[in-house]
Structure 1
Amino acid sequence: MTGALQRVLGFDYGTRQIGVAVGQTLTASASPLRELRARDGIPDWEEIAALLREWRPDALVVGLPLNMDGTPSDMSARAEKFARRLQGRFGLPVHCIDERLSTFEAKQTLRDSGRRQHGSYRDNPVDSLAAVLLLETWLGGQTKET
Structure 2
Amino acid sequence: MRLLGIDYGDKYTGLAISDAKPSLAVAKDIVYGKTRQDLSKYMQEIITQEGIDVVVVGMPLGLDGQPTQQTKKTAKFVEWLRTVLSVPVEVMDERMTTGAFRAEHKGSARPQRDDAQAARILLQNYIDRHYDNHR
Give the TM-score band, short-chain normalised: 0.7 to 0.9
Please report the TM-score for the alignment, with normalisation by the length of structure 1. 0.80
CA contact (8 A) 1:64 1:99 kept: yes
1:141 aligns with 2:124: no
Go from structure 1 to structure 2 and tell me whether the alpha carbon gap of 1:15 and 1:135 turns closer, same or farther (over 3 Å shift).
Answer: same
Corresponding letter in the other structure for 2:15? V
1:8 aligns with 2:3: yes
Alignment partner of 1:50: what SS? Answer: helix
Corresponding letter in the other structure for 1:26? K
Q: For residue 36 of structure 2, what is the aligned residue in structure 1?
A: 42
Corresponding letter in the other structure for 2:110? R
**What CA distance in whole angstroms lies between the structure 1 residues aligned with 2:21 and 2:43?**
24
CA contact (8 A) 1:21 1:135 kept: yes
**What CA distance in whole angstroms lies between the structure 2 residues aligned with 1:33 and 1:108?**
20
Please report the TM-score for the alignment, with normalisation by the length of structure 2. 0.86
Q: 4+ runs of 1 displaced by more than 3 Å?
A: none
**What CA distance in whole angstroms lies between the structure 1 residues aligned with 2:130 and 2:23?**
8
**What CA distance in whole angstroms lies between the structure 1 residues aligned with 2:22 and 2:54?**
16
Aligned-residue identity in percent: 26
Q: Aligned pair count?
A: 131
Which has the higher mean CA deviation after the structures are superposed, 130-139 or 88-97?
A: 88-97
Alpha-carbon offset, residue 25 of structure 1: 6.5
Alpha-carbon offset, residue 27 of structure 1: 4.7
Across the aligned residues of Structure 1 and Structure 2, the Cα RMSD in angstroms comes to 1.9
Matches of residues 68-83 of structure 1 in structure 2 within 5 Å? 68-83=63-78
Q: For residue 120 of structure 1, what is the aligned residue in structure 2?
A: none
Alpha-carbon offset, residue 54 of structure 1: 1.4
* Structure 2 stretches lacking a partner, 5+ long: none
**What CA distance in whole angstroms lies between the structure 2 residues aligned with 1:20 and 1:110?**
19
CA contact (8 A) 1:15 1:42 kept: no
Corresponding letter in the other structure for 1:51? I
* Structure 1 stretches lacking a partner, 5+ long: 1-5, 118-123
- Alignment equivalent of 2:55, drawn from 51, 57, 60: 60
